[in-house]
Amino acid sequence: MAADISKLRNIGIIAHIDAGKTTVTERMLYLSGEKHRVGRVDHGTTDTDDDPEEQDRGITIFSACVKYTWGEYNVNLLDTPGHVDFTAEVERCLRVLDGAVVVFSAREGVEAQSETVWRQADRYEVPRIVFINKMDREGASFDDVFNDIGPRLGGRPVAVEIPVGEGPTHVNNPFRGVIDLVGMKLLQFDPETEGKTVTETELPDELMDDATFWREQLMEVVYELSEEAMTLALEEKEVPSEMIIAALRKGCLDRVIQPVFCGSALHGIGVQPLMTGVGNFLPSPLDRPPVVGITPGKEDKPQTRKPDSNEPFCGLVFKILPAKTGDNYWIRVYSGKLEQNSRVFCPNRDKKENIAQIWQIHATKKDRDGQSESVGAGDICCVIGPRFAITGDTVCDSKAPIELPSIKFAETVLSMAIEPESTADRKKLEETLNMLRRQDPTFRAVENEEIGQTIISGMGELHLEVIQHRLTRDFNLNVKFYKPRVNYRETIGGTADVVGQCNRVVGATQMFARLKTRVMPTEDPSAPVVVFDRLPPDCPLPNAIRTAAIEEMRERAGGGGMIAGFPLSGVRFEVYDAEMQDEGSDEVAFRIAAGDAFESGLEAAGPVLLEPIMRVEVTTPEDYMGEIVGDLQQRRAIIASTESRGMMTVITAHAPLKEMFGYSSAIRSLSQGRAGSSMEPYGYQAAPKEDAESFQY
């Protein structure tokens, strides 16, 4: 594995679905010499989409890791999904990556999921470069995509390349190469060698004006970032290419700019300069701040770890792939050295773990020739041996324990009941669901013993459909599937003051407790329930009894609401007064009073059913806009905005998830297959009264 950390790059390819992430990855592997033939997504022959479900659908579902060498750089590349149902795969990858390549389609531009992955990269402070792909497609526009990145994403794109022409070969000015604005050269790529042969020539006169215009914009940014370059410019001296690259690198690492490249990954145009840009502009582990964690059990004692192999070992488990020979744990090593046949500590589980084997990763499997004795700081590897750690857990040296921040995943929005056809399938189903839970942290499976069914939950229709296919096709299970249902929540509609009481006679003892409680909604209806102890300092309750009462209310909050037991959210309880007697006012009495206050408070404040709302983005030719808007309004959607992008119109709406089942099929029917849509969770709002009444109190 890589020894020189400064030449190591841990990068991810992120984008909206169908922007061409997997094709870019495939082309990088081919051009670096890692493979001898370019795979095709539509043929199911790419390295990173190696799951049968991915090959059938032609989309990426599971993140995959590949390694390649380009010049002096060793690159760990993670190809991520673009569909919103699999956002967790992007989340866990960005958590451990140092940099990212954001891919946009030159025709569709900045799309809904583009915004989602950009926000995720912002959250993890990941520097990024941009690749505008599909420049050879009908309707491609470099300018439109470039000018959208600032206002829509809050970025500051800086073009280091511009295209020569746009669109396919039959248009007047087709895409046929790129102009390198740093060296002011024309780069052309030989289709006979799948783009491997690059010809660099001087710029012809007809391209000089356009190139000069974009070069001036590039240099203005360079002067902002480099005083040395500004001094040379004032002295009317030429700024060397090395100084331009160094200034742009600094701006990219500081996340104030995003260098922009362009090309066509499918036809091998513009990918080599992008690969060089990964080395020039994206950070090595040494360029990133030291990771910060806490001392286990002592949250007030932060610790840091530098990307240095001489530091104590620490790493993060960011993905688990179940396997018969032992689960494959993907680990990002942040400091120290991880060695084969060693023992490490998992502070999240308070367990020691064995590291039996260390492997390099190729796609979603162990690299056959990639077993290693050890792996150093900054690298990514696969290990076999751990048993207790889960996704997001820290592994570290037991003599220097540290707990790194975990990975937070979104809550599921859709559920489906399943049950095995026979008793023989029940145990196998249970084992399979446990395995899928280890692999996918956004997948939930809970057995309901009362009805004999298991409720599985996921991020959307496609997510559950993929799980369904895996159970039946990959694991040969005979399982009944029932109609998906929405994951509602419950909250309250107003504020109320209640008194929770306990007046019971147990044996010869009169139990007594009284708690005055205020219940009110929070600003965010999807926020967790909070319980505050507002008892005055002179309250006579002993600390043990106070703690027991507050604990009881918090435990009740985790048990669901009053309408149908859906998870409770957006509620605030404040216990502000209490009464007790000399005898019979113990912990049990006050737990009973706390439970009474909790239930009385919910009832008095008025229970409200909340339904999940989705942010829907529809891209359609204008001819079908009327029908699509009308259909959305029938689905109780609120149209947030409409805007024109080239020949297409983009409609953004907020719609209840309940009304959006089967929408992808409906929109194809409405637009004769010419419109597309994407959805992502937006929030929660009060459900219609009839929905709440349909559930039994």
Of 199, 156, 207, which is closest to residue 181 (Cα–Cα)? 207
What is the domain count for the chain? 5
3-state helix, strand, coil in the chain (%, to 5): 30, 35, 35
What is the tens place of the pLDDT at every residue in 574-623?
999 999 988 888 999 999 999 999 999 999 999 999 999 999 999 898 88
Token pair of 356 as six digits: 């039996």
CATH code (residue 94): 3.40.50.300
User: What integer pLDDT is reported at residue 449 of this predicted model?
Assistant: 64
Give the SS3 label for residue 621: strand
Residues 3-18: pLDDT tens digits? 689 999 999 999 988 8
Residue 590 CA: distances (Å) to CA of 555, 561, 598: 14, 21, 12
Residue 403 included in any domain: no
State residue 56's pLDDT score: 77
In a domain, 584, yes or no: yes
**Is 303 part of a structural domain of the chain?**
yes
Residue 467: give its domain's CATH number. 3.30.70.870
Average pLDDT, the chain: 90
Kindly give, in sequence order, each residue whose CB lies less than 8 Å from that of residue 693, ignoring residues fewer than 6 positions away: none
Which of 585, 605, 625 is the last residue before a domain boundary?
605
Has residue 622 been placed in a domain? Answer: yes
The answer to whether the beta carbons of residues 59 and 82 sit under 8 Å apart is yes
What is the chain's Cα-based Rg? 29
Residues 382 and 439 in one domain: no
Q: Are both 452 and 502 inside the same structural domain?
A: no
CA 420 to chain centre: 32
Residue from 546, 543, 493 nearest 515 by CA: 546
Using CA atoms in the order 119, 122, 128, 132, what is the torsion angle rounded to 10 degrees?
A: 20
- Domain stops at, among 369, 396, 423: 396
**Is residue 94 domain-shared with residue 204, that is, in the same domain?**
yes
Measured distance CA(108)–CA(18) in Å, rounded: 10
- pLDDT for position 616: 92
Report residue 539: phi and psi, to 5°.
-65, 135
Same domain, 156 and 179: yes
Provide block-wise average pLDDT over 10 residues at a time, the chain (697 residues).
81 90 93 84 73 76 89 93 82 93 93 86 94 94 95 95 93 93 95 88 94 96 95 92 96 97 94 96 96 88 92 94 86 95 95 94 75 92 93 94 90 87 86 88 81 83 89 89 89 95 85 94 91 89 91 91 90 94 88 94 94 91 92 95 84 93 86 84 90 73
- Report the b/e string of 490-526 with b at 16+ CB within 10 A: bbbeeebebebbbeeeeeeeebbbbbbbbbbbbeebb
316 found inside a domain: yes
- Residue 2's pLDDT is 44
Residues 660 and 588 in one domain: no
- Specify whether 283 is located in the same domain as 295: no
Domain with residue 388: its CATH number is 2.40.30.10
505 and 377, same domain (yes or no): no
**Residue 443 to residue 433: CA distance in whole angstroms:** 9
286 and 6 Cβ atoms separated by less than 8 Å: yes
* Gap between the Cα atoms of 684 and 181, Å rounded: 47
CA distance 528 to 637: 26
Q: What is the CATH number of the domain that holds 506?
A: 3.30.230.10
Q: How far is CA 592 from the centre of its chain?
A: 42
Domain of residue 637, residue span = 611-695
Alpha helices by DSSP H, 304-394: none
- CA gap 63, 52 in Å, rounded: 14
Q: Using an 8 Å Cβ cutoff, are 566 and 558 in contact?
A: no
Over 433-482, what HEC string results?
HHHHHHHCCCCEEEEECCCCEEEEEECCHHHHHHHHHHHHHHCCCCEEEC
* Domain membership flag for residue 666: yes
| 106 within a domain of the structure (yes/no) | yes
Domain identity same for 187 and 249:
yes
Half-sphere exposure of 323 (CA within 13 A, CB side): 17
Q: Is residue 405 part of a domain?
A: no
Q: How long is the chain? A: 697
**Would you state the pLDDT for residue 368?**
63
> Residue 697 has what pLDDT?
43
Given the DSSP bridges, would you call strands 489-492 and 509-521 parallel, antiparallel or unpaired?
A: unpaired
- In this structure, are residues 313 and 344 in contact, taking their beta carbons and an 8 Å threshold? yes
Residue 243 DSSP code: H
Are residues 633 and 661 located together in one domain of the fold?
Answer: yes
240 secondary structure, DSSP code: P
Same structural domain for residues 471 and 575? no
Q: Are residues 116 and 240 in the same domain?
A: yes
Give the Cα separation of 446 and 434 in Å (integer). 10
The kind and range of the H/E element at 666 are helix 663-670
Same domain flag for 88 and 151: yes
The tokens for 328 are: 């494959």
d(CA 684, CA 28): 42
Residue at a domain's end among 548, 582, 605: 605
CATH of the domain at 621: 3.30.70.240
88 near 410, Cβ under 8 Å?
yes
